[in-house]
């Protein structure tokens, strides 16, 4: 098992994260336009930058102490939690959130924790937005890059349906507002809803 704090330290959250300050708020604005959530939980929130585009109640969950500190510095509510463990969401919120979002996090967890990660997202909301890098994207500390079909299968097993229509609506907005250098963000986008 990799040490989260050793991998995702001050160097990781350094200048290579600058692009997120411009790009990630455009993701959350697109999610707001289409899904209009009243409360959002950002799983693997990193430094909390996704919050900048939401106009609703926001909470982050992050596994690195550096990320938690950076999110707190933004004045945001954040919980430290190792995403490789099963989450008891009642201890965090008490109710399901309108939206659980996880942007480019899933591939950073070792393959043996993929089912736990998916289960955690399902515990947090009936609507989930996930982007996860695949084998062609490259990236630092990508331990489990997978195609969309891998994640769709895992969410389907939990009673969630891949919503291609919502995914297309959101990615259309992203394509209009985000530089094509970050096309992997819309190429990897998936929206799931609970069908049970």
Domain membership of residue 43 as a residue range: 4-10+26-194
Phi, psi of 78 (to 5 degrees): -145, 145
Question: Which residues, other chains included, contact 126 with Cβ-Cβ below 8 Å and sequence gap of 6+?
Answer: 96, 193, 194
pLDDT of residue 9: 63
46 in Cβ contact with 67 (< 8 Å):
yes
pLDDT of residue 91: 55
Question: Which residues, other chains included, contact 31 with Cβ-Cβ below 8 Å and sequence gap of 6+?
Answer: 37, 40, 53, 54, 99, 101, 129, 170
Q: For position 183, which CATH number holds? A: 3.40.50.150
Q: Is residue 16 one of the residues assigned to a domain?
A: no
Tokens linked to 56: 């609703």
- Rounded to two decimals, the pTM is 0.91
Indicate the number of domains in the chain. 1
Q: Is residue 131 one of the residues assigned to a domain?
A: yes
pLDDT of residue 18: 81
pLDDT in tens, the chain (196 residues): 666 655 556 776 665 678 889 999 999 999 999 999 999 999 999 999 999 999 999 999 998 899 899 999 999 999 999 998 998 755 565 678 999 999 998 898 899 999 999 999 999 999 999 999 887 666 666 767 899 999 999 999 999 999 999 999 999 999 999 999 999 999 999 999 996 6
């Amino acid at each position: 098992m990799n040490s989260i704090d050793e991998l995702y330290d001050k160097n990781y959250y350094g200048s290579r994260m600058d692009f997120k300050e411009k790009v990630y708020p455009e993701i959350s604005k697109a999610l707001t336009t289409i899904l209009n959530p009243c409360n959002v939980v950002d799983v693997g929130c990193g430094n909390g930058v996704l919050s900048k585009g939401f106009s609703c109640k926001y909470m982050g969950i992050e596994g690195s102490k550096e990320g938690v500190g950076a999110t707190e510095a933004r004045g945001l509510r954040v919980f430290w939690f190792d995403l490789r463990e099963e989450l008891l969401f009642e201890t965090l919120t008490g109710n399901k959130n309108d939206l659980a979002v996880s942007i480019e996090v899933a591939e950073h967890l070792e393959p043996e924790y993929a089912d736990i990660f998916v289960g955690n997202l399902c515990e947090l909301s009936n609507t989930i937005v996930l982007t996860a890098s695949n084998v062609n994207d490259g990236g630092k500390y990508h331990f489990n890059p997978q195609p969309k079909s891998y994640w769709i299968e895992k969410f389907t097993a939990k009673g969630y349906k891949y919503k291609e229509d919502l995914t297309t609506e959101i990615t259309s907005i992203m394509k209009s507002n985000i530089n094509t250098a970050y096309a992997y963000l819309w190429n990897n986008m998936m929206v799931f809803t609970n069908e049970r």
